[in-house]
Amino acid sequence: MGWLGVEVADPGLGAHLDGVPGAAEGRGVGQVEVADLVGGHAVVDGGGGNVDALGDLGVLMGDPPAAGEACSTRKCEPGLVTTQAIEIPGYIAGTWDVDPVHSHIGFMARHLMLSKVRGRFDRFEGQIVTGEDPFSSSAAVTVDMNSVNTGNETRDNDLRSGNFFDAANYPAMTYRSTGIRRAGEDLFLDGELTVRGTTRLVSLRFEVNGFAPDSEGVTRASFSAVGEINRIDFGVCTNPPIVGLASKEVHLDIEAGAVLRGHQG
């Protein structure tokens, strides 16, 4: 079982986490008393052990750290440190290859700011690494821009042209993650998206759907992600841009099924 929260690094700290799942194994998430925060670690009163600060910690006494700011970068008053655990049942650390047959990279934009036009890319490849610490996980995807498919050949050819993707000169779109963070109940994958030779930072809200073997004993994982970009930021437009023909905002919809390397039946 994987946890995104505070990890107990000392097996002797189980007694300090009354009722917290995983405490008997020295791994738990919950509310603990701390005397200080040193180097990003919470030193537990009376225990002498460390509690790894994985994720955003809320300090109940004194002002809480600002969003994205670690406690180690500022003075944190003694008190209670809490974090909300996110349980990932059956979590498996490893390297995964994206399975295109069980994956989907789609998008949606509006035509004339009215009707929704949906499309997808039919050819892509990617790798996902789930770390022992889930917050150290990463993802990388390469998409063939010539494989765009909106169900209309005329529109697809226009998208491939210099009016939009310019796929002849920029045949690939890439995404490389740079980190994972939590905001409230949501998890976000931050990364660099490169389209038409332009790279921008893009965040995707994602979910871990689960890990399981299939009927042939192949270990699989499933993830979902959504996001939104402004296509003008990437030069995906006519020059000069024609305003109103298609929305600037493009919604991204991703389903990633992946196979664990070296663990196939």
Tell me how far apart the alpha carbons of residues 134 and 231 are, in angstroms, rounded to a whole number: 31
Is residue 77's pLDDT more than 90? no
Cis amide bond preceding 240, omega within 30:
yes
Q: Are 72 and 83 in contact (CB under 8 A)?
A: no
Tell which residue, 34, 35, 10, has the closest CA to residue 23: 10
**Residue 245: per-residue pLDDT:** 65
Q: Are 238 and 108 in contact (CB under 8 A)?
A: no
Is residue 80's pLDDT more than 60? no
Q: Domains of the chain: which residue ranges?
A: 2-88, 94-260
**Residue 233: per-residue pLDDT:** 92
Tell me how far apart the alpha carbons of residues 256 and 265 are, in angstroms, rounded to a whole number: 21
Q: What is the CATH number of domain 94-260?
A: 2.40.128.110
Mean pLDDT of 164-185: 95
Q: Are 219 and 213 in contact (CB under 8 A)?
A: yes
Residue 242's alpha-carbon distances to 28, 134, 157, 162, 237, in angstroms, are: 55, 43, 18, 13, 8
Mean pLDDT of 124-129: 98
Whether pTM exceeds 0.75: no
**Residue 227: per-residue pLDDT:** 97
Q: Percent of the chain, pLDDT > 90?
A: 55
Tell which residue, 96, 114, 113, 130, has the closest CA to residue 218: 96
Tell me how far apart the alpha carbons of residues 19 and 265 are, in angstroms, rounded to a whole number: 38
Mean pLDDT of 94-117: 91
pLDDT digits (tens, 9 = 90+) for 188-236: 999 999 999 999 999 999 999 999 999 999 999 999 999 999 999 998 8
- Mean model confidence pLDDT for the chain: 75
Dihedral, CA of residue 6, residue 7, residue 13 and residue 14, to nearest 10: 90
Tell me how far apart the alpha carbons of residues 131 and 227 are, in angstroms, rounded to a whole number: 23
